[in-house]
Chains A and B, each alone.
Chain A
Amino acid sequence: MRKGDNKMVEFSPEVIDTVIRAAALLGAGFAMIAGIGPGIGQGYAAGKAVESVARDPEARGNIITTMLLGQAVAESTGIYSLVIAIVLIFTI
């Protein structure tokens, strides 16, 4: 190749499509990592709730309600990642 002769490598459309699809699937896989965190967090919260109920059985109702609200809100980050992963899988 001579100096100044800048030729770009050209790929066929099938190869480009495959690369884009592979990248989208890889992205979906990475997005699903976010689904693990809330599970671990909810489990930890449940363990602590059991400890609290054992310490103060009268506060059971209060603990259940607080845990319910906390878990309902904490779960939303996992669903965000799920939505993004599904969009990546099915749209591209």
Chain B
Amino acid sequence: MKYINDPNRMQIEIIKKTYIFSIIPIVYALIAGEFETLLGFILGLIISTLLLRLRVLNIERSLDMPEGKAETFIRNRYFIEYLIYFAVLVVAKRNPSLNFLATAVGLFMMKFTVIIWAIFDMAKGGLQNKLKDYKDLKEDKYEKGGQ
């Protein structure tokens, strides 16, 4: 992950990548003509984006507090976020024009993106290391052959 030292840049990257990943289910829902799924998914996606921003603000605020106070603060904020999730899911369940499961998937999309991104990065790092090892080995062999 390139922007690990810059939280603001990182959150923009997460949101961008999430939206890019989300194009696949959105296009699928459009082609299939399932507008409830589309609306539910978009609702979940918007709420998860806003909650990510809220989480960044909470974390930045908590780092200026004493340790015990920060623990309590983040715990309380987590339960507030949990209530928001609950409200969104209840709305999706009760409203016939929103698909409940699509809303849940929209809420999870950011987490899936982070996990997939981390796996890709790990795989990329492993591959680059292997290539570097292979190049070093080849250079060693070449040098030995030259002598």
Give the number of residues in A that approach B within 8 Å (Cβ atoms).
36
Give the number of residues in B that approach A within 8 Å (Cβ atoms).
45
| Pairs across A and B, CB under 8 Å, 17 listed | A42-B74, A42-B78, A44-B71, A45-B74, A49-B63, A51-B67, A62-B5, A64-B60, A65-B1, A65-B4, A66-B4, A68-B52, A72-B110, A75-B78, A76-B111, A78-B78, A79-B107
Within 8 A of B (CB), among A15-46: 35, 38-40, 42-46
Per a CB cutoff under 8 Å, which of B59, B72, B74, B108 touches A76?
B108
Sorted nearest first, the 5 A-B pairs with minimum C-beta distance are A43-B75, A46-B74, A43-B71, A47-B71, A64-B7
Complex Cα–Cα for A27 and B2 (A): 43
Pair B89/A86 contact, Cβ less than 8 Å: yes
Cβ distance B34 to chain A, nearest Cβ, rounded Å: 19
Main secondary structure of the interface of B (DSSP, over half): helix
Main secondary structure of the interface of A (DSSP, over half): helix
Interface residues of B (CB under 8 A from A): 1, 3-7, 10-11, 14, 52, 55-56, 59-60, 62-63, 65-68, 70-75, 78-79, 81-82, 85-86, 89-90, 93-94, 100, 104, 107-108, 110-111, 114-115, 118
Chain B residue numbers with a CB within 8 Å of A53 are 63
